[in-house]
Homo-oligomer: A and B are copies of this chain.
Amino acid sequence: MGNKWIIRGGKFAVPGSDKPVIDGYMVIDNDLITYIGEEPPVLEEDIPSFDGSRLLFLPGLVNTHGHAAMSLLRGYGDDLALQVWLQEKMWPMEGKFTGDDVYWGTALSVLEMLKGGTTTFLDMYDHMDRVAEVAEASGIRAVLMRGVIGLCPAEVQDQKLAEAVAFAKEWHGKASGRITAMISPHSPYTCPPDYIEKFVQAAHDLDLPIHTHMSETRREVEQNVTDYGLRPVAHLEKLGMFTRPSLVAHGVHLTDEEIETLARHQVGVAHNPGSNLKLASGVARVPELLKAGVTVSLGTDGPASNNNLDMFEEMRLAALIHKGVSGDPTAVPAAEALLMGTEYGAKSVFLNQVGRLAPGMKADFIAIDIDQPHLLPHTDLISHAVYSASAKDVEHVWVDGKQVVQHGKCLTLDEEEIRRKAQEAFEDLLKR
């Protein structure tokens, strides 16, 4: 019984190891990888075989920060000053989002992510039950949380917190464990200190990690100092956030001391290079963060500030911009960028069985077609995955041992319906 099979003749990426590309075999038993190596495994039974030639297998990509439903606003307001973009474009439209809008926007994004090789995504938004529905149906692995903005009366605050807690209780561990939950006050600038403390307490009570936006713009850092006399890292430390396992998004504007504090508390940083550049937030100090031992992972942020969910592009941006800005061509080498998009990503969202091709790990992996002009000659496949490939090179995707994308087609979602519904949802939002 069970579903055991073998990939033969494939190339398997193991970035960061002595031999970063294994030319050989991988065995999958239900949801787990049970063997990977250059020698054929000893098999006691006849099991189905998958031809791995022309393919490079990579761990599924892990997108550690985003707001998937915002795909409905992709291209609706670009090249604008941040406040104009938020106040005149995003917030008025998001204010009109119904649960159905969130459902179809998220479905559009999950479809894009799966087809592009992302097997795990973090999502912080509203109407999270609808997001969880998409995650469950699509087969993707998801780390979900109600992101709460606390600029509202106390009773509304309490209600939102209760919603966030109820969502986490209901969905944590669901979908055969593919869905996990976190607790998420939106940011220090949208949640008063005492409100953040309530989230920290809730995270303790539920034994869940915390995610928040932090130090994305210079202006918000300055405002934090004005309002609370502390920069965001010290502020959140004081509020007890880092007594919980934590992941902060952005961390663009950090001092050396703040980097040390994050490292000491083992706080992960979700780096969003595309979004940070597009919104002109700045360039995060990624080489310094990595050097200090901080786990830096990669996120796309919402599709309206990116404007796609191609994690290959985020890996490439991470590998490119820190070289160009620091003047050091050895900064963030290809293998490290690939680790940021896979293993470090999994670690950042507290999934210790995901992000690496190794026996005992969950069978979340993807295959890209390497017999294409832009991926030849086969000099260094780790380099090609980071510097030359894109989401559209993904041929097959498996999550939890189940194939969800085959020859570029999503097997779990109705692509045509989602495309049509997402377009209709946007047109309807314009009218409302």
In the complex with contacts A79-B330, A324-B282, A388-B307, A423-B377 CB distance below 8 A: yes
Pick the contact of A73 from B80, B379, B381 — CB < 8 Å?
B379
Given contacts A71-B376, A78-B333, 18 further A-B contacts (CB under 8 A): A74-B376, A75-B377, A75-B381, A75-B383, A78-B334, A79-B319, A79-B334, A109-B373, A116-B374, A277-B321, A278-B323, A279-B323, A280-B324, A308-B374, A313-B313, A377-B425, A377-B426, A378-B423
Chain A interface main SS type: helix
Decide: A277 and B320 in contact? CB cutoff 8 A.
Answer: yes
Interface centre among A111, A115, A282, A373, by most B CB within 10 Å? Answer: A373
Query: Does A325 reach chain B (CB closer than 8 Å)?
Result: yes
Decide: A330 and B81 in contact? CB cutoff 8 A.
Answer: yes
Cα distance A423–B329 when bound, in Å?
27
Decide: A329 and B280 in contact? CB cutoff 8 A.
Answer: yes
Interface centre among A321, A372, A376, A425, by most B CB within 10 Å? Answer: A376
Decide: B330 and A80 in contact? CB cutoff 8 A.
Answer: yes
Query: Does A281 reach chain B (CB closer than 8 Å)?
Result: yes
A84 to chain B, nearest CB (A): 9
Residues of B within 8 A of A100 (CB): none
Decide: B115 and A419 in contact? CB cutoff 8 A.
Answer: no
Show 7 residue pairs from A and B whose CB-CB distance is below 8 angstroms, ordered by the A residue: A74-B384, A75-B377, A79-B333, A115-B373, A278-B387, A307-B387, A325-B325
Q: A-B pairs with the 6 shortest C-beta distances?
A: A277-B324, A392-B392, A377-B426, A75-B379, A79-B333, A307-B387
Q: What class of interface size applies to chain A in its complex with B?
A: 35 or more
Residues of B within 8 A of A330 (CB): 79-81
Query: Does A72 reach chain B (CB closer than 8 Å)?
Result: yes
Residue ID in chain B nearest A116 by CB atoms: B374
Decide: A280 and B393 in contact? CB cutoff 8 A.
Answer: no
Cα distance A85–B323 when bound, in Å?
14
Decide: B423 and A376 in contact? CB cutoff 8 A.
Answer: yes
Residues of B within 8 A of A419 (CB): 371-373, 376
Query: Does A306 reach chain B (CB closer than 8 Å)?
Result: yes
Decide: A390 and B390 in contact? CB cutoff 8 A.
Answer: yes
Residues of B within 8 A of A388 (CB): 74-75, 307-308
Cα distance A360–B246 when bound, in Å?
60
Decide: B321 and A324 in contact? CB cutoff 8 A.
Answer: yes
Decide: A279 and B79 in contact? CB cutoff 8 A.
Answer: no
In the complex with contacts A378-B423, A392-B390, A418-B373 CB distance below 8 A: yes
A116 to chain B, nearest CB (A): 8
Residues of B within 8 A of A325 (CB): 283, 325
Residue ID in chain B nearest A381 by CB atoms: B75
Residues of B within 8 A of A74 (CB): 376-377, 379, 384, 388
Cα distance A381–B418 when bound, in Å?
19
Residues of B within 8 A of A194 (CB): none
Decide: A376 and B422 in contact? CB cutoff 8 A.
Answer: yes
Which residues 303-338 of A sit at the B interface, judged by CB distance below 8 A? 306-310, 313, 316-317, 319-321, 323-331, 333-334
Decide: A282 and B327 in contact? CB cutoff 8 A.
Answer: yes
Per-position contact with B for A362-387: 1 when CB-CB < 8 Å, else 0?
00000000011110111111011001
Residues of B within 8 A of A333 (CB): 78-79
In the complex with contacts A79-B334, A321-B277, A327-B280, A387-B422 CB distance below 8 A: no
Query: Does A82 reach chain B (CB closer than 8 Å)?
Result: yes
A234 to chain B, nearest CB (A): 24
Residues of B within 8 A of A233 (CB): none
Decide: B329 and A81 in contact? CB cutoff 8 A.
Answer: yes
In the complex with contacts A108-B376, A376-B74, A331-B426 CB distance below 8 A: no
Decide: A324 and B276 in contact? CB cutoff 8 A.
Answer: yes
A348 to chain B, nearest CB (A): 22
A375 to chain B, nearest CB (A): 8
Query: Does A427 reach chain B (CB closer than 8 Å)?
Result: yes
